């Protein structure tokens, strides 16, 4: 059963599309991370990197709605921290959207998106592989108390207290973190959970429940604003694609969350890290292969 994607202008198998969303959601449900696989999988299906990234970020906005409200009701959202993250995120998203437009005009957007994925997936894959292997062999290991990042954050000015999180830190910390996530959301189509969650819990010292609620709050509004900017500036959001992915990923995430209880976490991490590393190598290989033609059609000239 094929469906024609109006903005991507390709016809794809609808079940395959929902299946890709479900697979990513399943991994996400099991491991808490995996949404960043969505854009590269769509690229491998033949959808242009730009439409893939913009539509994936739209799906993230939809996926974050229900979780955000649940955490808001439970009082797990640090609004002060969330708003600072959001200001950074929206600013970063605007910068990322303009960067996307410039890179597209230069003809190197696809290369930048794929390069970012190669780099991020290699880092994530190696980190997960080492973490999974270590915890499998030695059990959970305590992380070192203070690092250079802690010391750097400790020296930043404009310190303020965040009551819900129970921490005191510089206002610049969430602004910088949010800005980084915003840029990544615009260029790569990721929510940034794999950066936000460890950074907020480990470097800012926030309790995990508030980390989850506040990061979801930030992701919802950052991804929604990036979707709006991508739609307005680059016309690259495919709502049909986003909805299909979202339906699949929501179902997959529920299944993944139920399955994880029956599996061993460290083995899952090692297996998943190998998939991520394989995908990273595949994309790296694509970047280094000579293109079939020396010209790439960018679209209608102005």
Partner 1 sequence: MSARHTLLAAALFLVAASRAAPMAAQASAITVSASQRVIRITARYQGDLVRVQGTALPSDAIVLKLTSPREAVQCSQKGKVGPFWLSVRQVRFEDVPRMFKIKSTVPLDDILPQTEQVEHGLGRAGLKASMAVEGGLDKNLYLNELILIRERDRRFSFAEEGVRRDGDKYQASFFWPPDGPPGLYRIEAYAVNRGRVVATAETEVEVRAVGVEAWIRSLATSHGILYGLFAVGLAAVAGLSVSLLLGGRSSGRSSASSGAVTEASGSVT
Q: Would you say 34 and 190 are in contact if contact means Cβ atoms under 8 Å apart?
A: no
Nearer to partner 1, 75 or 161 (CB): 75
CB of 278 vs partner 1, minimal distance in Å: 19
Q: Would you say 279 and 40 are in contact if contact means Cβ atoms under 8 Å apart?
A: yes
CB of 158 vs partner 1, minimal distance in Å: 26
First to last CA, the chain: 37
> Does residue 41 interact with partner 1 by CB under 8 A?
no
Residues in contact with partner 1, shown as a per-residue x/- string from 105 to 144 under the rule CB under 8 A: -xxx--x---x---------------x---x----x----
CB of 157 vs partner 1, minimal distance in Å: 27
Nearer to partner 1, 33 or 169 (CB): 33
d(CA 258, CA 29): 8
d(CA 206, CA 228): 30
> Does residue 44 interact with partner 1 by CB under 8 A?
no
d(CA 253, CA 29): 4
Q: Would you say 120 and 209 are in contact if contact means Cβ atoms under 8 Å apart?
A: no
Phi-psi region of 139 (alpha: psi -120 to 50; beta: other; left: phi over 0): left
- Please, what's the largest Cα pairwise distance for the chain? 61
Q: Which stretch binds partner 1 (CB under 8 A): 65-73, 93-101, 144-152, 274-282?
A: 65-73
Residues in contact with partner 1, shown as a per-residue x/- string from 152 to 191 under the rule CB under 8 A: --------------------------------------xx
C-alpha dihedral sign at 89, 91, 92, 97: positive
CB of 290 vs partner 1, minimal distance in Å: 6
Which residues inside 229-288 make contact with partner 1, applying CB under 8 A? 229-233, 235, 237, 239-240, 242-243, 245-247, 249-254, 256-257, 260, 265, 269, 287-288
């Amino acid at each position: 059963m094929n469906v024609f994607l109006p903005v991507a202008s390709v016809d794809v198998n609808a079940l395959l599309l929902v299946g890709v969303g479900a697979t990513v959601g399943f991994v996400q449900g099991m491991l808490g991370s995996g949404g960043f696989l969505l854009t590269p999988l769509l690229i491998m299906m033949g959808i242009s990197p730009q439409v893939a990234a913009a539509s994936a970020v739209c799906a993230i906005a939809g996926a974050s709605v229900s979780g955000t409200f649940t955490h808001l009701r439970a009082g797990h959202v640090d609004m002060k921290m969330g708003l600072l993250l959001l200001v950074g995120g929206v600013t970063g998203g605007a910068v990322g959207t303009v960067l996307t437009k410039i890179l597209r005009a230069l003809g190197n957007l696809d290369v930048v998106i794929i390069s970012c994925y190669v780099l991020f997936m290699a880092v994530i894959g190696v980190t997960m592989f080492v973490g999974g292997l270590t915890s499998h062999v030695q059990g959970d290991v305590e992380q070192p108390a203070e690092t250079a990042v802690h010391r750097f954050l400790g020296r930043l000015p404009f310190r303020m207290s965040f009551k819900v999180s129970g921490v005191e830190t510089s206002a610049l910390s969430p602004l910088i973190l949010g800005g980084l996530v915003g840029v990544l959301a615009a260029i790569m189509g990721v929510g940034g959970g794999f950066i936000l969650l460890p950074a907020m819990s480990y470097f800012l010292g926030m309790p995990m429940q508030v980390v989850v609620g506040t990061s979801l709050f930030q992701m919802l509004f950052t991804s929604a604003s990036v979707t709006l900017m991508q739609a307005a500036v680059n016309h690259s959001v495919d709502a049909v694609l986003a909805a299909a992915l979202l339906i699949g990923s929501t179902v997959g995430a529920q299944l993944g969350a139920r399955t994880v209880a029956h599996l061993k976490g460290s083995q899952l991490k090692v297996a998943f890290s190998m998939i991520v590393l394989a995908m990273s190598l595949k994309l790296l290989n694509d970047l280094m292969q000579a293109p079939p033609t020396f010209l790439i059609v960018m679209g209608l000239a102005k």
